[in-house]
Amino acid sequence: MKLSSHFIERKAVDVSGRLGTLYDVSQDKLIDQYSVKSSEIQSTTQHSICRIFSGAQFNNIIDVLKEINFDDGLLQSILLSIIQPSGISSAIDYTQSINENTRFLYYAYVSKEEISEDIDEIVTSSSYSSCATHIIMKTIWGFEILCILSIPNDQSTHALDSLLRSIAYRLEHNEKDFVLTDREEDEISSVTDITIFGSETCIDKHNTTLLTVLNRIKSWQTNENFHQPLQYTMCCLESLYNNDHQPELCDSSNLIHDQTLNIESMIMDIDIWIRHLVEIFKKIPKNFSSRILNKRSNDFQEQFCNLLTIYGEFRSDLRKLLIGIRRNYYESIEIDNVISDEYYLLLQINKIKKFFNKVNRWLTKALLFEQLNNNQIRYIDISTIRVGGRKLTKIEDIEAIIKRILMKENYCDVTVWYSDHRLQSEEPDIWKFLYQKLISERQQTNHRMIIVYADFTDCHYKLKDNTLLRLSMRLPDNV
């Protein structure tokens, strides 16, 4: 069937569509289930498509989906939850970083094409839902798989790339004797970080192994129970029946206006940072030993809930606006007005990053405080110490203030441990050794030794190494 300006193609996210099914392009949704017999089934078009991509080619998963024929409008509908993803479109929720060590193996098998040329056989325009804009005239059937491989830094990408290219060639040319050698299976098995998305008839779990997929492809090809719609070709109802009751659609060129494309990058960026925040809030204990920490935790929780509420309203406004733009109710420039609304300033990426970093720094200190407190190790945040309203930048001044603070102890020996988050992260073995060493020393003194952890994390003075300062705090008897 020859395509004209009245036809559009869409990847089949909802696979329940059939010839004659109505579609609302403004929401990318199937509307009514009208099924007609196909006037032509082209079973001779069976073929495979297999492509390999490197993560270095893409900025994010959206770019990957575009490479395998997801159009901008459909991706925007998925991003804004106008429709729910399924099959390989579920890859839009892939959360891992994409870089030069990421590989994508895309495989599609086309089993048949169904085409309806008999327009009169389709229901009359008077029966159409007022929401419908298009009708399915052609359906491509088959199944498709998207495998995402994250290669460890210490593993050679050259050998794996060579193997993937070999596999892709054999799959695309439908080699009947496609069988992996033991060496190939071992090499594939060496990559353990693999996520797989695909037609839900074939892939029901994202942690399905690549070996399982490769070994089953041949059986999936010959069993029609695994085949489902991959793509719809649809005709505009207005062009078919010149019906004034059909919604007037925005010209397709406007659908890819800069403002609508901005939605993709903005929503992707916000979603990534929201997921980071969700993960970090999962790490916050329900209760701390400190009333101050509990209050701070509650404050952060309230701020995050407020952020999520505002983000939900923002997405809702964009959904309504995008549908309206597609129906010519609004101009696409209205998107800029929503994005720049003062109410949504909190959603600026730099502000979300700032909030994330603030929570992350606080949680790092809070968890450290709890760990130290559980072992009766006192904690001093050096960045909070002020003299005359100014922060301390010289180690001599810092030591003098620490001694002054600890002089309040009646009778004991004190060991002050100078450290910070960088040293704890970069030299974990040394940090753990000193931690156990000091606890052991205190046990040998029947707990008469006081251990003080001086945290220089946010201090202007930068430590070079973990340092122990031994102080004898014996005071005169008449004090």
Per-residue confidence (pLDDT) for residue 246, from 0 to 100: 54
- Residue 205 CB neighbours (<10 A): 8
Q: What is d(CA 161, CA 475) in angstroms, rounded to the nearest whole number?
A: 71
Query: Closest by alpha carbon to 424, among 394, 457, 450, 399?
Result: 457
Are 435 and 358 in contact, with CB atoms under 8 Å apart? no
SS (H, E, C) 169-217: HHHHCCCCCCCCCHHHHHHHHCCCCEEEEECCCCCCCCCCCHHHHHHHH
Per-residue confidence (pLDDT) for residue 383, from 0 to 100: 86
SS3 393: coil
Compute the chain's Rg from CA coordinates.
31
> Which phi and psi angles does 223 have, rounded to 5°?
-110, 110
Q: Let me know how many helices (H) and strands (E) the chain has, helices first.
A: 13, 15
Residues belonging to the chain: 479
Query: Closest by alpha carbon to 102, among 144, 60, 65?
Result: 60
What tokens does 127 get?
């029966």
**Is the CA virtual torsion 296, 301, 304, 309 positive or negative?**
negative
Query: Tens of pLDDT along 56-90?
Result: 999 999 999 999 999 999 999 999 999 999 999 99
> 87 — alpha (psi -120 to 50), left (phi > 0) or beta?
left
Going from N- to C-terminal start, the domains of the chain cover 7-249, 254-361, 375-472
CA distances from 397 to 246, 335, 403, 448, 461 (A): 78, 55, 10, 27, 11
Q: What is d(CA 16, CA 86) in angstroms, rounded to the nearest whole number?
A: 12
Per-residue confidence (pLDDT) for residue 1, from 0 to 100: 47
Are 211 and 188 in contact, with CB atoms under 8 Å apart? yes
CATH class of 375-472: alpha beta
Question: Residue 469 pairs with which residues in a beta bridge?
Answer: 416
Q: What is d(CA 110, CA 464) in angstroms, rounded to the nearest whole number?
A: 62
> What residues of the chain score a pLDDT lower than 70?
1-4, 33-44, 117-130, 175-176, 241-260, 388-389, 392-393, 408-411, 447, 473-479
